[in-house]
Amino acid sequence: MVINSIVYRDGAREEVIDPENISREVMEDPDAFIWLGLYQPDPPFMKKMQEEFGLHELAIEDALTAHQRPKLEQYGESLFIVLKTAHLNEHNHIEFGETHFFVSKKFLITVRHGASESYAPLRKRTEERPEMLGKGVGFPLYCLFDFIVDNYSDITATLGERINEMERAMFRTEFDRKAVQHVYTLRRQLLALRNAAMPVDEICNQLIRLHEDIIPKPLRVYLRDVQDHAHHVVTDTDDMREILTNAMHVNLALVTVQQNEVVKKLAGWGAILVIPTVIFSMYGMNFESMPEIHSPWGYPAAIGGTLLACGALYWRLKRASWL
């Protein structure tokens, strides 16, 4: 459950500490904070963390339930933040998880659930900038936000290439049920990704405007950069969903037009075949006073008249682009 539990003092990595026995001296040191990384912890362990860090019971309850919407809530001197994480699996389908943050001036606790990239490489890169770590928990919090939103951007970039290929494939006159189902599934995934990215803007706004103790002024520009990236993700997902919708509509329209062309041809040939059907059915009736029935030229005249009428109708339909 415990991935990392490290104390940082004056921007430098100080020591690995047991999260269940956090020294009061560390919590009271104005130059130190604790960055604790957890993965799907169980209720007894979170109960201990509640007691050790003074966390609110409602935040603990939410952190144990991995089906939360992205949000920021304040409980006393600490914040509880939820962000959706996204990951492309080997089948290029988006899998979603969650990261819950407990944040105060003295600690940053991350609780990961479900699909998510490891934060270990991010922690290493963060520790390479001690001058920024010296500003407190705001910098690693920004790094985590940026890492999550950049994953959104990577997913939209990958899906953008696939969508361009799908769009070209949809411009055909054959109806492909699997392709339409794939488009519908992808649109739903893009909607879920959009809903994950959209609340990031408001969460960053609240951190910038209302929580200067956690996000000091030098760090605000970094969170605005995260906001900009999240906005691009929302815009890109909207554009891609629109492209998929239009491509699906174009495909259905092309299929309909092709079907109409087939129906027109069948109707044209049906109209041509009506002429000999009517004439020959009349001569098949048992009447003596049929036109030219006793004439030696009657049969050739009937055949010729039929062919002439059929040819005239064929020429007319051909000019009308029905055949």
Number of domains in the chain: 2
Give yes or no: residues 35 and 110 share one domain: yes
Examine the fold and report which residue of 254, 282, 310 is the final residue of a domain before the chain moves on.
254
Q: pLDDT tens digits, residue range 24-71?
A: 667 777 788 999 999 989 999 999 889 888 899 999 999 998 788 999
Give yes or no: residues 140 and 266 share one domain: no
Examine the fold and report which residue of 254, 273, 291 is the final residue of a domain before the chain moves on.
254
User: What are the residue ranges in the chain where pLDDT is below 50?
Assistant: none
Domain CATH for 310: 1.20.58
pTM for this one? 0.79
pLDDT of res. 260: 80
Give yes or no: residues 210 and 294 share one domain: no
pLDDT of res. 156: 92
Domain CATH for 159: 3.30.460.20
pLDDT of res. 283: 67
Give yes or no: residues 100 and 46 share one domain: yes
Give yes or no: residues 248 and 265 share one domain: no
Give yes or no: residues 184 and 270 share one domain: no
Examine the fold and report which residue of 254, 279, 297 is the final residue of a domain before the chain moves on.
254
Residue 276 is encoded by which pair of tokens? Answer: 């000999």
Give yes or no: residues 136 and 42 share one domain: yes
Torsion of CA 196, 197, 201, 203, to 10 degrees: 30
Give yes or no: residues 247 and 269 share one domain: no
Q: pLDDT tens digits, residue range 155-194?
A: 999 888 888 777 777 776 566 677 778 888 888 899 999 9
Give yes or no: residues 154 and 172 share one domain: yes
Give yes or no: residues 58 and 114 share one domain: yes
Give yes or no: residues 200 and 279 share one domain: no
Give yes or no: residues 236 and 273 share one domain: no
Edge-to-edge strand list for the sheet holding 107-114: 12-16, 2-9, 32-39, 107-114, 94-103, 78-88, 71-75
Q: Which domain holds residue 293?
A: 255-320
